[in-house]
Amino acid sequence: MTLFLPMDDYQKFSDSLPLQWLWYYEYHSPYEVHSHAVKDIIVRAKSKYQQIDVIDTFNSGKVLILNSEPQSAQVDEYIYHESLVHPAMIACKSPNNVLIIGGGEGATLREVVKYKTVKKIVMVDIDEELHKIAKEYLKEWHQNSFEDNRVILIFDDIKNYINKALENNEKFDVIISDLNEPTGSTPAFKVYTPEFIEKILKVSSDNLVMVLQASDLKDILFWEHRQDKEYPIIFEHFELFSKYFNDILLYHAFIPSFFSDWAFLLLSKSNILFNINTIDNIIQERISGELKFYDSETHQLLFSLPKFIRSTLNKFLSKNKIKIK
């Protein structure tokens, strides 16, 4: 992805200037690019771990970009974050202790602190500089959730924290992984390993529900069409996590600013059961405040997968002899 700037002083641009002066190019693949006209560059910084940019766009408002990859946009970040958090929190019988992995901008945390049942929230992010930038410039995201007295913020590699949690015999009911794409250019690279998952299970309660973002759902479509040798990230996750969890549910939400149908994986030690007739009541009982996106009707949309996705996934699982317990 490229931020195209024909000048070096990053001055503010007004609506009267030609839009071609400043564009952000988002590459979905080597074969597809989307471009966003930019009003202003709010922050350009480089931490120890990644390039951090916050820009202001005409259509999507402020956008957080890490290593040239968009993370969330002001106009619709609630769609992504409510989809990530609430199915897991509703599926868990007693969501008292919650671990958030990543989530530096604070919007995942914002959704978790809405739960009256939660007693402790540990948020672990490797990049403290990202947290400082988000706290100052992304207030619409975190809405001061960092100040909740149930929240413990830790800036460290999640692997280091899990080792300490094991020593302290900590147990979590819900684990929410809001890491960016696990590629070689991100801090999330090689986090999801058998050794790490085995440790995750040791710091979880018997009621554990875990959720993670799983990349773009359309990767499955393009992968099948191109007959690529490398599997989509979603399939790699299924192959790995199926060895450790009894139930895995794939679900999705369309994120307009991403122009993508984003995938999520819901994982549990036991069968994941939802009762559509009780979801709204559980939300009302457990949550303080209103949700903008998630409810029982939206839940049915999230967990309704297109036929071609179900078919392609089942072929992959069958070919690789992967069984979802």
Task: Render each residue's pLDDT in the chain as its tens digit; 325 residues.
Answer: 345 444 444 455 444 445 455 888 888 778 888 888 899 999 999 999 999 999 999 999 999 999 988 999 999 999 999 999 999 999 999 999 999 999 999 999 999 999 999 999 999 999 999 999 999 999 999 999 999 999 999 999 999 999 999 999 999 999 999 997 655 555 555 678 999 999 999 999 999 999 999 999 988 988 888 888 788 899 999 999 999 999 999 999 999 998 899 999 999 989 999 999 999 999 999 999 899 999 999 999 999 999 999 999 999 999 988 877 6
Summarize the chain as % helix, strand, coil (round to 5): 35, 30, 35
Helix, coil or strand: residue 146? helix
CATH topology of domain 2-72: Spermidine Synthase; Chain: A, domain 2 (2.30.140)
Q: What is the pLDDT of residue 10?
A: 44
Residue 315 token pair? 């072929």
Which residues are catalytic, by number?
178
Helix, coil or strand: residue 222? helix
Angle between helices 77-91 and 276-286 (to 10 degrees): 100
The residues of the chain that CATH labels 2.30.140.10 are: 2-72
Q: Name the residue among 206, 195, 280 with its Cα closest to residue 240.
A: 195
- According to CATH, what is the number of the domain 77-319? 3.40.50.150
The residues of the chain that CATH labels 3.40.50.150 are: 77-319
Residue 15 token pair? 């609506």
Segments in the chain forming alpha helices (H)? 77-91, 107-112, 128-137, 139-142, 158-167, 194-202, 218-226, 233-241, 276-286, 296-302, 307-319
Determine the residue type at 157.
Answer: D
How many CB atoms neighbour CB 202 within 10 A? 13
Measured distance CA(302)–CA(166) in Å, rounded: 34
Strands 51-57 and 97-102: unpaired
* Distance from the Cα of residue 99 to its chain's centroid: 14
How many CB atoms neighbour CB 61 within 10 A? 16
